[in-house]
Amino acid sequence: MLRRGNGPEPASLDAHRAQDIASHSVLRDLYEGLVSEDAEGRIVAGMAERWEISADGLHYRFLLRPDLRWSNGAPLRAEAIVASFARALNPQTAAPLANLLTPIRGARASMAGDASQLGIRAIDDHEIHIELERPAPLLKLLALPIAMPVNLAALAQYGSAHTQPGKLISNGAYRLQSWQPHAGIVLERNPNFHARASVQIEHVRFVVTEDASSELRRFQAGDLDFTETVPPARLDRLRERFGSQLRISPYLGSFFLGLNVQDPLLGSSPELRRALSLAIDRDILTRYITALGEQPAYGLVPSGIEGYAGARMPESGWTQAERLAEARRLIDEVRSRRAEPIEVEIRYNTSTAHRRLSLAVAAMWRQALGITVRLRNEEWKSFVQTRRDRRITQVFRGGWIADIADPLSFLALFDGAQALNWSGWMDPEFQSLLDRAEQDADARLATLQLAEQRLLDAHVLIPVYFYTSRHLVHEDLEGFEANLLDRHPSRWMRFRAHKQATP
């Protein structure tokens, strides 16, 4: 058995409705798309054993493996895959990541309720054609859970309970054996998976570990084979303590504090939002609070995306003393227009790391700006719902890990009325820039950079740092490879020596 730390309780095992990393990590073991990813994050064959792409990049032809089956042994054919795509794009599904599929012809219309022109067709039982409206990295998108096939017969029979043990029918390397809420999920090797002979680990246990320090203790006690993260600590001491078991790598992830611009206080005062951002000393936070190689962030999109320079806050070149002076000037300006004291709440999901960072930020704001700051923590599922509702949040823990190596993966968070726009920012010019970027391939990255700059200039988020991936990995575990998106399907892992564990 492979025992994986997996962070908070997965929000959903519905491949189309899940949006959190904890859910996606499990779904990548349970399901497989038309294409898949290997241990190093490279695109490899999935349900399709081969594919062809037209010269203009708009037409894709996928030839399916002849032996595809669902985990219950039933044949898996092209028509079921096409129907699953239609379900992912159906507005009644309310899939939070459906917008990732909008390069496909007719996808936007499908999301609005008209699926008649959707450019995904089953030619026969083993061939699927997909037509795009514009060139896009389709293969990378098709490896995401939103593009994985949900068994619609199980959905029709069980409704929302189709994700429960004994009812979930998947098509990946593993199938669901048990799910104990707030404790863990156990998977077993899928005997009907087309590449079952290459899957060496029989069982996988995903352990819920909201507290990174507790997770570290479990790893030390031999209860985990690798951790979801590592708690804040001095890097030199961690290396001395764990040696080669400590894995730290570049990661396409951005941590930020979101600002709810629909809140009466924050929404009416861009000066206050700017002051809050300038008063944060990012160097102190990354050196002493997170302390695992993170880079201070003055933009939303991290470096590492080929061809994209990224936008940055104009004040990124200032000294921290200069930023503090401007923050104090701005807060005095805000006070001069208000009769009431300024009070701000920071909301975050339960986590030692998030608590430490929130405490540090609150202290900076109190000391530099003289404002009252309250802290509020919530269990993950409650936090996600509260953040999405935008009713009682002010400042909230934000962050995003790229779905694919593309700046739009980050910028789309702030695009209009979709569910992931936690700040509630509606800006026609920003949305127009995103549209222009998708229509002009040659100027795409430059236009996205303009969009990012407009977002930063509106002060609807406070960039804090760019992530590193950090794990503790048992020395006997092989196949755990660093990659920019920090994805580690269990299918590719194996133990150097025989290990036994009880589910």
Segments of the chain assigned to CATH 3.10.105.10? 252-468
pLDDT digits (tens, 9 = 90+) for 357-370: 999 999 999 999 99
Q: What is residue 503's predicted lDDT score, i.e. its pLDDT? A: 53
CA distance 366 to 196: 57
Instruction: State the chain's maximal CA–CA distance in angstroms.
Output: 72
Query: What pLDDT score does 441 carry?
Result: 80
* Closest among 137, 48, 134, 141 to 98, alpha carbons compared: 141
The average confidence (pLDDT) of the chain is 94
Between 28-32, 232-236, 245-249, 250-254, the lowest mean confidence (pLDDT) is in: 232-236
CA 128 and chain centroid, separation: 28
Locate tokens 């208000």: which residue?
338
Q: How many helices (H) and strands (E) does the chain have?
A: 16, 18
CA distance 503 to 452: 46
| Token pair of 253 as six digits | 């992830």
Tell me: pLDDT of 499 over 80: no
Query: For residue range 193-234, what is the model confidence (pLDDT) as tens digits?
Result: 999 999 999 999 999 988 889 999 999 999 999 999 998 888
Nearest-CA neighbor of 331 among 396, 375, 403, 272? 272
Per residue in 105-144, is it b (16+ CB within 10 Å) or e — as a string? bbbbebbeeebeebbbebeeebebbbbbbeebebbbbbbb
pLDDT at site 304: 84
Which pLDDT band, with edges at 50, 70 and 90, does 317 fall under? very high
With vertex at residue 159, the alpha carbon angle to CA 157 and CA 160, rounded to the nearest 5 degrees, is 145
When the candidates are 3.40.190.10, 1.10.760.10, 3.40.50.1220, 3.30.70.100, the CATH number that belongs to 2-206+473-495 is 3.40.190.10
Pseudo-torsion of CA 456, 458, 461, 464, nearest 10°? 40
Contact 205, 184 (CB under 8 A): yes
- Are 185 and 176 contacting, i.e. CB atoms less than 8 angstroms apart? yes
The whole-number average pLDDT for the span 37-65 is: 97
Q: Whose CA is closest to 424, among 234, 296, 261, 236?
A: 261
- Cβ atoms of 117 and 138 closer than 8 Å: no
Q: Is the pLDDT of residue 135 over 90?
A: no
pLDDT in tens, 158-204: 999 999 999 999 999 999 999 999 999 999 999 999 999 999 999 99
Q: What is the CA radius of gyration of the chain?
A: 23
Is pLDDT above 90 for 442? no
User: What's the whole-model pTM score?
Assistant: 0.81
Separation in Å, CA 391 to CA 91, 385, 439: 23, 10, 35
- For 306, 349, 467, the CA distances from 379, given in Å and listed in that order, are 36, 6, 22
Q: Which residue ranges does the chain devote to CATH 3.40.190.10?
A: 2-206+473-495
Residue 501: per-residue pLDDT: 53
pLDDT at 476 over 70: yes
For residue 262, give the nearest of 456, 424, 395, 428 by alpha carbon: 424
H helices present in 112-211, as ranges: 138-142, 152-158
* CATH class as words, domain 252-468: alpha beta
